[in-house]
Structure 1
Amino acid sequence: MTFAPMWDVFRVSSDKLALCHLELMKKMNDLIRDINKYGDEQVKIHRRTKEEMVGTVEAVQAVQVQNGHLQKSKEGYHSKCSELDRLRKEGAPQKELEKAELKSKKAAESFALCIDKYNRVGGEFEQKMSESSQKFQEIEEAHLRQIKQLIKGYSHSIEDTHVRVRQVHEEFKQNVENIGIDSLIQKFAESKGTGKDRPALVGFEEYMSALPPEGGKKSRAKAFRIPGLGKRDKEPDSTDSTVTETLTRRTTFTPVTLTLMTRSPRSSTSRLDQWSAAAAVTLLPRRRS
């Protein structure tokens, strides 16, 4: 198939894209592992911070309690003052007025003590809350800094993957442009061809029997003998003498000549005059150079 090199380009490009996405997956797994590790560290930090903030928790509880006392003392004081004003307006006896004034004075003293205590507890509360808030801010800043770093790592991983994918795409387009039609046909011819040299002409190869000789004896090649020219044959006439002289020269006969020069089954003498004219033409010898 002449298009096979193009499929190789597709395969190489697909493998590179797969490697890009595989690398991104590894980076994402590393990022997830870092996030999980950071989450475990945050749990430890929060647990340790909670233990360190026990004083702040106590200060918050104390200021809440003192705030309740302050409000109750304030209400009591205002109630006693209101009662004294009512008695004065109604023209109550002096004894009741003095009694109401005494209660109002005690309520005022109690309210003042609650204010002092609340202010003292409030001061401690502000100090503890200031320290805790500073600690909380540092923890939150470190948290945001770490989260931002993780997000930045994610962004860089995505960006690097996009750059590598873009490079693979550009390389793919360049490879497609570089492979021309002539190049595809040339590669196909080189892959399917048998060579650039033309094969030589085929010559006749004589058959060599691979069968062993019968009886385990070496076979002797029989001497070539022209029928009718043996010692036990008749003397040839003048025509036969001419043919015999020609054939007995140093010649090389083709297999067709050897096939035609067989003894005729119709005659025991096998004379040359029994051959056909066409056979006689075929029997013409080839002179060795």
Structure 2
Amino acid sequence: MKHGQLASKELAEFVRERAAIEETYSKSMNKLAKIASNGSTLGTFAPMWDVFRVSSDKLALCHLELMRKLNDLIRDINKYGDEQVKIHRKTKEEMVGTVEVVQALQVQTGHLQKSKEGYHAKCLELDRLRKDGAPQKELEKAELKSKKAAESFALCIEKYNRVGGEFEQKMSESAQRFQEIEEAHLRQIKQLIKGYSHSIEDTHVQVGQVHEEFKQNVENIGIDNLIQKFAEQKGTGKDRPALVGFEEYITVLAPEGGKKSRAKAFRIPGLVWTQANIFLLHLLT
């Protein structure tokens, strides 16, 4: 059970590190979007910077959203870790009987070994006395001690076996309970990992969509479109200037004998020339 709590803590730490990586990546993409937005507005390539900026912004959002999902997952893992502590505490309380029977078996194992050694020691003593031809009274006394030691050894065996039976039952029940806890723990951990996997998978799908959109946008902006857009921004109009024809120069001179000349006035298209204009032109020339 202790290993289960450790696994939860380590998993939370791992996801936390991944969330930090996604946050850093998102900030880097934001910085890249700013670089694109500061791209030169001169030349036919200028509209392409918008494609880079939009794509970088969207990638930054994708990784920022993944970071948020991972932070939510960390909270779920920590919450499960707190639940684990409660479950383990409760389980320890339920295992008090098992702990007691384990201790009882350890005690009985010591008594059994001691009783066995005592019985064998009495038997060896009786055999020695018989070989040495000890007096009958001494033999009877040794036989009585050997018999009592055998009875005590038999009682220890009986008690050990009884405690051993209780130990086996309690350990079987406890082992079953521990297995249930571990199975539930592994199911929960796998569920949390599945959430981690789905979050990353969703982000990869979104990133793929952004890249596909970027590729389509680049393909959709043809060379002719870029040049046409540049021409529309920098052009001075679509109408061609009118052709200019040659107009003969007419000299304005004073007529002889004081007669006024009826020479045709020089005209520039778009301007109306009066007598005053002609006189002024005469003075200037």
- Same fold judged by TM-score > 0.5? yes
Report whether the alignment pairs 1:77 with 2:119: yes
Q: Tell me, in whole angstroms, the C-alpha distance in 1 between the residues paired with 2:134 and 2:178.
A: 60
| Pick aligned residue for 2:278 from 257, 263, 269 | 257
Within-5 A mapping of 1:273-284:
none
CA deviation map 1:138-187 (0-9, x unaligned): 11100011111111221222222222222222222222222221111111
Q: Tell me, in whole angstroms, the C-alpha distance in 2 between the residues paired with 1:120 and 1:245.
A: 151
- What residue number does 2:45 align with? 3
Cα deviation for residue 259 of structure 1 reads 2.2
Across the two proteins, how many residue pairs are aligned to each other? 223
Q: Tell me, in whole angstroms, the C-alpha distance in 2 between the residues paired with 1:56 and 1:122.
A: 12
CA deviation map 1:16-72 (0-9, x unaligned): 211221121112111211111111111111111111111111111111111111111
- What residue number does 1:282 align with? none
Cα deviation for residue 196 of structure 1 reads 2.6
Q: Tell me, in whole angstroms, the C-alpha distance in 1 between the residues paired with 2:63 and 2:184.
A: 32
Q: Tell me, in whole angstroms, the C-alpha distance in 2 between the residues paired with 1:104 and 1:261.
A: 164
| Pick aligned residue for 1:102 from 144, 147, 160 | 144
Q: Tell me, in whole angstroms, the C-alpha distance in 1 between the residues paired with 2:237 and 2:137.
A: 140
Cα deviation for residue 86 of structure 1 reads 1.2
- What residue number does 1:42 align with? 84
Cα deviation for residue 15 of structure 1 reads 1.3
In structure 2, runs of 5+ residues without a counterpart are: 1-42, 244-255, 264-271
| Pick aligned residue for 1:165 from 177, 185, 207 | 207
Report whether the alignment pairs 1:112 with 2:154: yes
The alignment partner of 1:117 has SS state of helix
Q: Tell me, in whole angstroms, the C-alpha distance in 1 between the residues paired with 2:44 and 2:273.
A: 52
The alignment partner of 2:260 has SS state of helix
**What amino acid sits opposite 1:129 in the alignment?**
M
Within-5 A mapping of 1:5-84:
5-84=47-126
Q: Tell me, in whole angstroms, the C-alpha distance in 2 between the residues paired with 1:55 and 1:62.
A: 10
**What amino acid sits opposite 1:37 in the alignment?**
K
Q: Tell me, in whole angstroms, the C-alpha distance in 1 between the residues paired with 2:65 and 2:281.
A: 83
Q: Tell me, in whole angstroms, the C-alpha distance in 1 between the residues paired with 2:273 and 2:84.
A: 107
- What residue number does 1:223 align with? none
Within-5 A mapping of 1:174-189:
174-189=216-231
CA deviation map 1:87-119 (0-9, x unaligned): 111111111111111001000111111111111
Q: Check 1:148–1:81 CA distance in 2 against 1; reply closer, same or farther (3 A cut).
A: same
In structure 1, runs of 5+ residues without a counterpart are: 202-237, 263-277, 280-289
Within-5 A mapping of 1:132-171:
132-171=174-213
**What amino acid sits opposite 2:88 in the alignment?**
H
Higher relative helix content: 2
Give the number of the structure whose alpha-carbon radius of gyration is greater: 1
